[in-house]
Structure 1
Amino acid sequence: MREALRHSASALKAAEVPFALAGSYALWVFGGPEGSHDVDLVVPEASVEDAAEALAAAGFEIERPPEDWLFKAWRQGVLVDVLHRLLGAPVESACLDGAEEHDVLGIRIRVLEPTVVMITKLLSLSEQYCDFGALLPYARAVREQIDWQRVRAETADHPFAETFVHLLDSLDIIG
């Protein structure tokens, strides 16, 4: 997965496609566990085709699933999800402006801040997917770097997210 991350980031940088690292690998950059499922990148909705072309030119196989908020790029059996909508809202350049630049595997790239990643992870919880056990190690590892007041405010009407934050409070992981 690290090689897929390196190659996808290099291809997008070379093509001057704006992007940021998201998901579990973004939290990994800040000290969380390393992702084990896929690599998540976000691009502005207006840059989707440029991103797909850049990744295809770099040897990725592009898949257009029925979901209208991402495309998938495969390389040597490893998946890179390229999201252009987060929680139903189009990714815009302003979303990437809040991302910080970090050296990731020898490449300088933007990485979504942990608070934003945690909010998107919590708001994606549903009756079909509600794995608190998968989220707990990330929350524990990067807890000091997350604005929990903001998380609470932006997830206040989402019962799964509220329950997870309550669990973190009860376990004395966050204050």
Structure 2
Amino acid sequence: MSKHASHQLRIIGGQWRSRRLRFPAVDGLRPTLDRVRETVFNWLQFDVEGARILDAFAGSGALGFEALSRGAKEVIFLEKNASAALQIKDNLKLLEAHNAQVWAGDALLWMEQNPEPFDLVFLDPPFHKDLLQPAIDKLELLPGALIYIEHEATLKPQFPANWAEKKNKTTKEFTFRLFQVLA
């Protein structure tokens, strides 16, 4: 596959339902599967509209775009890979989405320097890179905030004591979970 090859993802709900967006063929970039996104956004059906959202390790931006399509107030996309970050920006222009920002750089550094309150955080770092635990440790969230995490099925991260797990599912390859910060 050439370095200029691209793939597509489909937005599954909201105002941009069925729209297809391109994303670059980048090593380790794996958009959250349609069926997983459908489950996650069913879990979040009453929590996305009007929410301020952080899509850390955005990759294709699938989760953030899905949230914008469903009425998120704002999405901040963090993506270290320059071509992936550029494609997220291009897709935002294509959709005429003005309530989002893309930060092309290290998500862990950004979270350290910007301890902002978010209503919902998507944490789906590249697998086998030891990024999840440092990301969890850097998050500073207010009570009530939701955190969606996707990780390798074999990984056993440590979560803060004030994070209550609300939902989870595991496949052979990965686990996805939803937490809420308690008071």
Q: TM-score, normalised by structure 2?
A: 0.35
Higher RCO, Cα 8 Å, sep 6+: 1
- Give the greater-gyration-radius structure (CA): 1
Q: Which has the higher strand share?
A: 2
